[in-house]
């Protein structure tokens, strides 16, 4: 994910959604919301409409602090699916 984020100009193509979803699952398992949010940001930037679904999954599986929630809402809100993530 770090290579995709920092070296995107040297990488041809975009990973499949299934691979990104697996990475998100791993981030959830490791309780790493920042890396998961980076993955969701990458999905949104790459045009995957499923970014909101991934955001909702992250929000459901981990307890996010308000900074993580704000980041998540900023990403998915731009896609018009803000309602998929509840803010406490």
Distance of CA 39 to the CA centre of its chain: 4
Range of the domain at 52: 15-81
The answer to the question of residue 43 being in a domain is yes
Contacts for 36 with CB less than 8 Å, ≥ 6 apart? 24, 27, 28, 58, 62
The answer to the question of residue 9 being in a domain is no
Contacts for 40 with CB less than 8 Å, ≥ 6 apart? 24, 51, 54, 55, 58, 72, 75, 76
The answer to the question of residue 8 being in a domain is no
Say what the pLDDT of residue 86 is.
45
| Domains identified in the chain, total number | 1
The answer to the question of residue 86 being in a domain is no
Between 10 and 36, the higher pLDDT residue:
36
7-18 core/surface letters (b: 16 or more CB in 10 A; e: else): eeeeeeebbebe
The answer to the question of residue 2 being in a domain is no
The answer to the question of residue 7 being in a domain is no
> Residue 25: is its pLDDT beyond 90?
yes
pTM: 0.79
The answer to the question of residue 1 being in a domain is no
């Amino acid at each position: 994910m770090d290579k995709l984020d920092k070296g995107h100009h040297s990488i041809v193509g975009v990973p499949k959604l299934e691979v990104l979803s697996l990475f998100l699952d791993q981030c959830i398992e490791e309780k790493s919301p920042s890396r998961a949010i980076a993955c969701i940001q990458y999905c949104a930037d790459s045009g995957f409409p499923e970014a909101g679904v991934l955001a909702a999954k992250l929000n459901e599986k981990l307890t996010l602090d308000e900074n993580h929630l704000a980041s998540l809402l900023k990403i998915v809100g731009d896609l018009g699916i803000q309602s998929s993530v509840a803010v406490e």
